[in-house]
Structure 1
Amino acid sequence: MLFQLPSFFVFLAVFAAGLALCPRRLVLAYVFTASLVFYAWWYPPYTALILGYVAAAWIGGRLVRAHPRLLPVVVVTVLLPLLLFKYTDFVMTTLEELTGAGLPHLGWGLPLGVSFVTFSVISLLVDTAHHPKRPFPRFGIVAVYVTFFPHLIAGPILRLHKMVPRLSDIRIDREAFTANAGLFAIGMMKKVLIADPIGLWIDGVITEPGQLGLIEAWFVMLGFAVQIYCDFSAYSDMAIGLAGMFGVAFPENFHKPYAATSMTEVWQRWHMTLSFWLRDYVYKYLREPLGRVLAILGTMAVSGLWHGAAWTFVVWGLIHGTIMMAEALTGHAVRARQSRGLARAGFILATFLTWAVVTTFFRAPTLEVAASVIAGGFGAHGPGLLPADAPLLAGLILVTLALHPLDTINRIRSATARVPAALALPVILVLVAGCAMIAAGRPQAFFYFDF
């Protein structure tokens, strides 16, 4: 069920009406059931997997609280579905290429949200094992923590101890409703009006790029940098806005990443809940045996592999890790962050262009395609031609970058809250309805649904 389609708004209206009528003691059970319905809309059999994660979080959490030494065993158990669904065929394909032997493949579709749910459950287990004296919440809280529909498919990645008081008081939050509806509307516009048109054009050229010239290659690289930001930050805005309408504060997931002065700072602003998860549950454990610098590389390699079971993602993660290692060794990240004026603008521009080039590996279907596009961007295939959609693409890219300094959840909610609800809500309703009609004619899944 896509947030931007009319079917979701039918679900949302029914959910809100039921929540308003639901007795307080049954709210968690109601939200849990509704979230399972939301997930089952995609493919009902995989609902059993989500229920398995709920059971693993509840039973595993209580187990590691009583016996912290069992944490590694429980974490590996929780990782098994992710490894099975996401990486088995990748490993088999890689072995086939290395050995030439024909190996069996599962061919199973990746369950939606499995990576995000796995990380949320792991954070619950690790935090519980490390803080065994902290009260462990009741089953209803754990079940909703795992399945709450706004974040179920693509995050933000939550932390249980921060969410317990918020999930205990799910309701229609009338005071914060308008501000969060405005945030939802902004996310919807970023997805439908910016990310989707750019993505449709890139889809038509990236699969069969041939010899893209300099102009087309840069439209691909800059366009995808804008697409992936507007697509994923849109989902985060919509998820945070939805949760906020019901009294639940989700953590910020993006904070002007394209205003960063170094790649290190980008990852402190981009998909922040994942970055902090990797810092707390991967980097800290790698730092002692590997040292600070190599731990950065190892963490980014894990990040790349988490994003996708393909060598393009592994290379993408390793390149990021290598750049961040260099920034740590030279002190560049600190100097760039402290810079001012033209020097700061130069660092921001260089960081964004570097991000755009490296992110080509994230989008390209193969390493060869990524290398071809990047080579084209540096003139290997000549100047090329101006795309027929160049005015639209350039306009969307420039508008996004120009408004980027204003694109934070607090600024958007504050601006919306200053408008009387009687005026703001009709405008929001028109914007959302218009975007839903456009999306219904060309439905495009969120890019991160594949992860």
Structure 2
Amino acid sequence: MLFNTPIFFFFFVIFLFFYGFIFLRQTPRVYFILVASLVFYGAWNYKFIPLLVGSAVGDYFFAQAIASAGNISRKKLWLTASVVMNLGILAIFKYADFAIQSVADFMTLFGYEASVPMLNWVLPVGISFYTFQSLSYTIDVYRGDMEPRKGLVHFTAALAFFPQLVAGPILRARQILPQMHAIPTPKWNEVKHGFLLITVGLMKKTAADLLAKPVALAFDSGGPVSLIETWTGVLAFAGQIYGDFSGYSDMAIGLALLLGFKIPLNFRLPYLAASPVDFWRRWHISLSSWLRDYLYISLGGNRNNHRMRNIMITMLLGGLWHGAAWTFVVWGAFHGAIITLTHYLGQLPLFAAFQRGDKRLVKLLK
């Protein structure tokens, strides 16, 4: 049920009617949000609803166990259980066949032909988003960044919240849970802003669909392609992926605003970034900040002269998060390399001066 389809329009209109005129009290609204979100998710494949709910139930009780644990070793034990559950779900459904095929391909390099059976399991929609969102909750409770919230229904509704369930932004529990416990009434300015974001998002999605033709001509034609067609396809693909992804995020934020919920911005003019580092502060902000806070810092961040190593590990895994293929691993390695190079060159006076001038130019272009 994509946002830019008639069926979602009818779904949301019906939802708004009941949300705005029938379920006016806090508790019924939370239950209604949960039921509507599960219906929305079930429209893709109802068989995966138990997986989504199971993730929520598991991390809800893991967080409670972490908070009530008497010593740090028990806290680590419950956190480890949460990490294993969430990453295990991702590993089985998203990466198992990739790992099996990679091992088989590696064996063929040494002359061993192996007929390896694949799982061929369907990838649950939104699994990469909601597992990261759920995992951030137990990590935050473990770190003491937030207290565990009572109310399993509230937590499940926050995790399954349909505007951001399928394609983000990836919310932290401390961003969405307080709102789910005290659902705010949308103000008129927020409603207007929400409609504006939905309109802009639809325009971006439409533009992305129009750019699909030159992209297909350059990459899927199967025949010879001219230099101009190649570069046109490259630039069109850059516009297509931005329009598709940021457009969906804009609509998610806009839909949430209509319900009174505030979701952070996920894209901030990334193609006007002054450097590769600046690009990742603007592109898919919810993912890049998640990787920074929960992976990069956990690896040690800038400490102990391991900054470059930690950047490479973070970007490699960030690339793999986008898809189970070696192309995404290479893509992540490329971004890790240029970010590392940027940090290294930034220590040189001439390059630092150039970056300062580049940032001033970007501000003028805005």
Name the CA shift for 1:39/1:335 in 2 (closer, same or farther; >3 Å).
farther
Structure 1 residue 196 corresponds to structure 2 residue 209 = yes
Partner Cα separation in structure 2 for residue 318 and residue 165 of structure 1: 37
Higher relative contact order (CA 8 A, sep 6+): 1
Where does residue 338 of structure 1 map in the other structure?
356
Partner Cα separation in structure 1 for residue 240 and residue 355 of structure 2: 26
Q: TM-score, normalised by structure 2?
A: 0.89
- Structure 2's unaligned 5+ residue stretches are 70-74, 108-112
Partner Cα separation in structure 2 for residue 207 and residue 82 of structure 1: 30
Partner Cα separation in structure 2 for residue 303 and residue 115 of structure 1: 11
Indicate conservation of the 8 Å contact 1:19/1:172, yes or no: no
Partner Cα separation in structure 2 for residue 201 and residue 340 of structure 1: 31
Structure 1 residue 315 corresponds to structure 2 residue 316 = no
Partner Cα separation in structure 2 for residue 336 and residue 308 of structure 1: 35
Q: Alpha-carbon deviation of 1:65?
A: 2.1
Name the CA shift for 1:51/1:133 in 2 (closer, same or farther; >3 Å).
closer
Name the CA shift for 1:334/1:184 in 2 (closer, same or farther; >3 Å).
farther
Q: Alpha-carbon deviation of 1:208?
A: 4.6
Aligned-residue sequence identity (percent) comes to 37
Structure 1 segment 130-279 matched on structure 2, within 5 A: 130-131=143-144, 134-170=147-183, 173-175=186-188, 176-192=190-206, 194-279=207-292
Q: Alpha-carbon deviation of 1:140?
A: 2.5
- Structure 1's unaligned 5+ residue stretches are 349-403, 406-451
Partner Cα separation in structure 1 for residue 288 and residue 143 of structure 2: 20
Q: Aligned partner of 1:338: which letter?
A: R
Partner Cα separation in structure 1 for residue 37 and residue 59 of structure 2: 16
Q: Aligned partner of 1:22: which letter?
A: F
Partner Cα separation in structure 2 for residue 165 and residue 114 of structure 1: 23
SS in 2 for 1:3: coil
Q: Aligned partner of 1:315: which letter?
A: V
Indicate conservation of the 8 Å contact 1:262/1:336, yes or no: no
Q: Alpha-carbon deviation of 1:212?
A: 3.1
Q: Aligned partner of 2:209: which letter?
A: D
Partner Cα separation in structure 2 for residue 94 and residue 165 of structure 1: 43
Partner Cα separation in structure 2 for residue 113 and residue 290 of structure 1: 36
Where does residue 76 of structure 2 map in the other structure?
69
SS in 1 for 2:281: helix
Q: Aligned partner of 1:69: which letter?
A: K
Q: Alpha-carbon deviation of 1:135?
A: 4.6
Structure 1 residue 9 corresponds to structure 2 residue 9 = yes
Q: Aligned partner of 1:306: which letter?
A: W
Name the CA shift for 1:94/1:170 in 2 (closer, same or farther; >3 Å).
same
Q: Alpha-carbon deviation of 1:64?
A: 2.1
Q: Aligned partner of 2:97: which letter?
A: D
Output one character per residue of 1:391-434: Cα deviation in whole Å (capped at 9) or x when no partner. Answer: xxxxxxxxxxxxx94xxxxxxxxxxxxxxxxxxxxxxxxxxxxx
Partner Cα separation in structure 1 for residue 171 and residue 210 of structure 2: 31
Q: Alpha-carbon deviation of 1:293?
A: 1.3
Name the CA shift for 1:236/1:335 in 2 (closer, same or farther; >3 Å).
farther
Q: Alpha-carbon deviation of 1:110?
A: 0.9
Indicate conservation of the 8 Å contact 1:261/1:336, yes or no: no
Partner Cα separation in structure 1 for residue 248 and residue 58 of structure 2: 27
Partner Cα separation in structure 1 for residue 305 and residue 10 of structure 2: 51
Name the CA shift for 1:69/1:169 in 2 (closer, same or farther; >3 Å).
same
Where does residue 110 of structure 2 map in the other structure?
none
SS in 1 for 2:163: coil
SS in 2 for 1:43: helix
Give the aligned length.
346
Indicate conservation of the 8 Å contact 2:274/2:358, yes or no: no
Q: Aligned partner of 1:195: which letter?
A: A
SS in 1 for 2:124: coil
Question: Which of 75, 86, 105 matches 1:97?
Answer: 105
Partner Cα separation in structure 1 for residue 114 and residue 89 of structure 2: 26
Q: Aligned partner of 2:35: which letter?
A: T
Q: Alpha-carbon deviation of 1:267?
A: 0.1
Q: Aligned partner of 2:191: which letter?
A: F
Name the CA shift for 1:170/1:260 in 2 (closer, same or farther; >3 Å).
same
